[in-house]
């Protein structure tokens, strides 16, 4: 099925192997990935502090810094709760292996949607990262050919404690930015799409249980013998197995809610702060069209995140609980 294949690859690139017994090398690499992003935020923060009097410049630097901080928090959440992540993924993999052919068709449908969403998210994030990383090089080459002197800058606005204009300081610092940007992109895509893909998979399991519960009829649960109704043991066991499966899925939902509550809250705060900064920049005269486009894209991303992160875990369990409640209540009343 390739369940969460792209997400696992992205997270593997930042040091998460989805194995309970990770080697010390992998653990050290994941920790260094997080520390690298943390350190790169310091020069960006230094730039904002030094340019507080220039509000347009400081607010422009804050937008990219908010994104870096959000990526840092996502990777940190995954790092400290990876055992729970791995356990849930193992449970979903196990349910896939035990599912029937008809059930796998429903799971494949959700998995196909997940692949497309993840690929679009990954490609768009990488294009934005490449745009940021190539801008200093293109600008430097353009200045070199037009004026004969190039002003080499970093992809993100930042101030370092050492001189970055000399060689090889600039080249090494630039490569460091490339590495940290890649880690931030893969970490954000992996953590976000891990939720999307798992939510779609869980939603597919709810649909499977709904389909089975919809096929349950009263004459399957109760058998009339000698003018009296008795319980059909086989059908009743299947029904209660369905309830246990439903409870198992709900427990996974609760664990996901606990893990992602911090991410959702911080993402809400950072996105709101970004919208406030961009809304302030819209009041300025320069680059109005670009800022309007950025405002629209950010608002769309925010609405999309909120929609996806509540829709797939909302309707299926509510409808299914109501369906099972009716069946169970009818059986109990007749008894």
Contact 119, 16 (CB under 8 A): no
Contact 58, 157 (CB under 8 A): no
pTM: 0.75
The pLDDT score that the predictor gives to residue 290 is 58
Contact 308, 300 (CB under 8 A): no
Distance (Å) of CA 109 to CA 73, 105, 190, 306: 31, 6, 20, 22
Closest CA to 117 of 7, 8, 270: 7
Closest CA to 185 of 248, 253, 127: 127
Q: What tokens appear for 22 in the block?
A: 């990770």
Closest CA to 309 of 252, 263, 240: 263
The pLDDT score that the predictor gives to residue 247 is 82
Give the distance, in angstroms, between the CA of residue 271 and the centroid of all CA atoms in the same chain: 15
The pLDDT score that the predictor gives to residue 322 is 44
Contact 23, 51 (CB under 8 A): no
Q: Count of domains in the chain?
A: 1
- Which residues in 157-269 belong to E strands, given as ranges? 222-225, 228-231
* DSSP conformation class of 20: S
- Report helix, strand or coil for 51: coil
CA terminus-to-terminus distance, the chain: 44
The pLDDT score that the predictor gives to residue 226 is 54
The pLDDT score that the predictor gives to residue 295 is 55
| Residue-number span of the structural domain to which 297 is assigned | 5-334
The pLDDT score that the predictor gives to residue 300 is 56
Per-10-residue mean pLDDT, the chain, length 335: 78 79 78 82 84 77 78 81 82 83 84 85 86 84 81 79 78 86 86 83 83 67 54 62 81 80 77 73 59 56 53 50 42 38
Half-sphere exposure of 157 (CA within 13 A, CB side): 18
Residues 44, 48, 51, 55: is their CA dihedral positive or negative? positive
* Exposed e or buried b per residue across 312-335, where buried means at least 16 C-beta atoms within 10 angstroms of its C-beta: bbeebbeebeeebeebeeebeeee
How many whole angstroms separate alpha carbon 251 and alpha carbon 278?
Answer: 39
The pLDDT score that the predictor gives to residue 140 is 82
Contact 192, 74 (CB under 8 A): yes
β-bridge mates for residue 225, sequence order: 228
């Amino acid at each position: 099925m390739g369940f969460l294949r792209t997400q696992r690859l992205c997270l593997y690139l930042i040091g998460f192997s989805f194995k309970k017994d990770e080697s010390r090398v992998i653990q050290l690499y994941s920790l260094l990935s997080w520390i690298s992003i943390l350190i790169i935020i310091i020069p960006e923060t230094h730039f904002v502090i030094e340019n507080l009097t220039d509000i347009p410049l400081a607010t422009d630097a804050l937008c990219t810094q908010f994104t870096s901080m959000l990526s840092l928090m996502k990777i940190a959440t995954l790092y400290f709760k990876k055992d729970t992540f791995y356990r849930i993924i193992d449970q979903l993999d196990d349910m896939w292996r035990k599912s029937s052919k008809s059930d796998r068709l429903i799971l494949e449908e959700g998995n196909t949607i997940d692949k497309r969403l993840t690929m679009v998210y990954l490609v768009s994030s990488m294009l934005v990262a490449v745009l940021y990383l190539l801008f200093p090089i293109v600008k430097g080459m353009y200045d070199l050919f037009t004026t004969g002197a190039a002003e080499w800058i970093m992809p993100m606005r930042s101030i370092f404690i050492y001189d970055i204009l000399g060689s090889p300081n600039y080249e090494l610092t630039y490569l460091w930015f490339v590495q940290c940007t890649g880690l931030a992109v893969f970490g954000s895509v992996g953590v976000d799409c891990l939720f999307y893909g798992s939510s779609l998979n869980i939603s597919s399991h709810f649909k499977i249980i709904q389909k089975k519960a919809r096929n349950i009829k009263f004459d399957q649960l109760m058998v009339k013998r000698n003018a009296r109704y008795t319980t059909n043991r086989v059908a009743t066991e299947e029904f209660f197995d369905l309830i246990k499966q439903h409870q198992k899925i709900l427990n996974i939902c609760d664990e996901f809610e606990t893990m992602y509550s911090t991410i959702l809250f911080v993402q809400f705060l950072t996105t709101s702060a970004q919208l406030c900064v961009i809304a302030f920049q819209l009041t300025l005269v320069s680059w109005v069209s670009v800022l309007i486009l950025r405002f629209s894209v950010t608002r769309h991303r925010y609405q999309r995140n909120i929609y996806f992160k509540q829709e797939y875990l909302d309707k299926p369990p509510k409808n299914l609980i109501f369906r099972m409640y009716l069946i169970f209540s009818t059986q109990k009343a007749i008894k």
